[in-house]
């Protein structure tokens, strides 16, 4: 089982990966399927890591919208063919 610290490091890696291609701008995201897939994949990893954080950790950080982060992960994974790129 991964610790909260390991999961937070995973989340940081996912943010860095998203930023790598998000920096190319909205037009690149809208027109390049590989960039879309890359960003969505790393957002799923981010949400998966957040879902595994302990309740104690999340309770210590109530300012973070944990349920929304995990909810986005669920949408990206379970409603893959209905993903709204405007929301992503």
The answer to whether 25 and 31 have CB atoms below 8 angstroms apart is no
Q: Sign (positive/negative) of CA torsion 78, 13, 7, 2? A: positive
Which residues are annotated as catalytic? 73, 78
Q: How many CA atoms lie within 13 A of 79 on its CB side?
A: 10
């Amino acid at each position: 089982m991964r610790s909260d610290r390991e999961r937070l490091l995973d989340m940081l890696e996912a943010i860095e990966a998203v930023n790598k291609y998000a920096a190319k701008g909205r037009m690149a995201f809208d027109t390049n399927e590989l960039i879309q897939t890359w960003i969505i994949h790393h957002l799923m990893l981010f949400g998966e890591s957040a879902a595994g954080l302990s309740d104690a950790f999340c309770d210590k950080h109530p300012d973070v919208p944990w349920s929304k982060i995990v909810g986005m992960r669920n949408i990206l994974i379970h409603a893959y063919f209905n993903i709204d790129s405007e929301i992503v």
